[in-house]
Every structure is written in structure tokens, then in C-alpha cells.
Chain A
Amino acid sequence: QVQLVQSGAEVKKPGASVKVSCKASGYTFTGYYMHWVRQAPGQGLEWMGWINPNSGGTNYAQKFQGRVTMTRDTSISTAYMELSRLRSDDTAVYYCARDPYSSGWSVFDYWGQGTLVTVSS
């Protein structure tokens, strides 16, 4: 069965960086794009971008350009999302989510359990 297992909660200071991992199992990791979506406390969902695990190609939402880096390690079927220059309004649950169309323009059929990132001085 498809599973996406994310790394644990993080607490960071403003200006720091955070790197969240998402380990995939139950399917061919390189066959499906992986997206990242975040959700601030009590708020809605916000798309951040995607990575093509096969090529390493990425597409980031303009809002996060210059601050986000998505990478992958195909040897361990894991995707990563690193967000730098953290601010208090980056406090959110970060999700990885699989793209069943592998096109980038897609829905999300499987989600990780979420990783809470808290940014506080």
C-alpha cells in the first residue's frame, strides 16, 4: 500500500532553515511527481511546488521562489523540502502529497501525515 511518512516536528528560530523529509513506499518513487502543501494553524491549504523524482526537475510557487528547495534521494525513495529564512508566519503543518497524473497540474491522491514546523524566537 502507498505510504508517505514524514519527519518529525521541528522548532526553529526566525531566520533559520528547516528541511522536511517524506519517505515513500508501496509504489515506484520515480514514477510520480511529489508536491508540498502547507497549512497554517486554523487556516486553509497552500501549494508550495513540486519535484519530479525521476529528473529532479522542480516547479515552485512564486510566493516561495528563492526560499524553497525541493530535492530527492532516489536510493531511499525520499523527497525533501527545505525552507530558508524562516518567519513566524511560516509556522504551519507541511505535507508531501503524491501527484497521480505525474504532470504537475494535478490532484493529490496520497498525503503524508504532516510535519509541524514552529517558528518562534
Chain B
Amino acid sequence: AIQLTQSPSSLSASVGDRVTITCRASQGISSALAWYQQKPGKAPKLLIYDASSLESGVPSRFSGSGSGTDFTLTISSLQPEDFATYYCQQFNNYPLTFGGGTKVEIK
């Protein structure tokens, strides 16, 4: 199975900060990567698909980049509603797998 390693596992940031989360795949997955946001007690929400495409309705402060094994999710200016846990997911190989998550907390 393809392992996805997210870093950091948690971070503290302030409103307005630029935040970057990375996801590294154990083998190349082309651009078959998605990012999700999950708030406590809620289902995950799709933010980015195909590594860099913004899902409809998602604010433009979210962006994704990368291909092959290294990927990045960037929040250009952190807003109060962005404090959550973020997961990457690969869909290049079975089993579909997720990263371990990055918790974004208020500084």
C-alpha cells in the first residue's frame, strides 16, 4: 500500500498567517492526490482534487501543488473557520489511502 506521510502532524498559527502542509507519498502517484478538511464531529470536506484543482465553493485562499511524490496544501491567509484537521488522500493505487492528518490550531 502507498503510505502518505504528512508534516507537520500539528501546528499553531494565527489568523492571517500563511500555512503550508506537506504530504509525501511512498511511491509516485502522478497527480492523483486530494486534500480534505475535517472539523470535530463532522465528515471530511473535499478542498483540492487532482493535486491542484480547487473544488467548487472552496475559498481561493486554499491551493494545492505537487506531483509524483511531494505535495503541498497552502492556506494563504488563515481564517478562524480554517482551524481543523487536514488530510491528504491518494487515488492512484488500491487501497486508496490517507495521510495521518495535520491539526491546525490557534496560536
Which residues of A does B touch, CB under 8 Å?
35, 44-47, 59, 61-63, 95, 97, 105-109, 111-114
Contact = CB atoms under 8 A, between A and B. Distances in A.
A107 B34 contact: yes
B94 A44 contact: no
Main secondary structure of the interface of B (DSSP, over half): loop
B100 A107 contact: no
B96 to A, nearest CB: 4
Contacts of A35: 96
A97 B46 CA distance: 11
13 contacts: A44-B87, A44-B99, A45-B89, A59-B94, A105-B92, A107-B34, A107-B49, A108-B36, A108-B44, A108-B46, A108-B89, A109-B55, A114-B43
A107 B46 contact: yes
A61 B43 contact: no
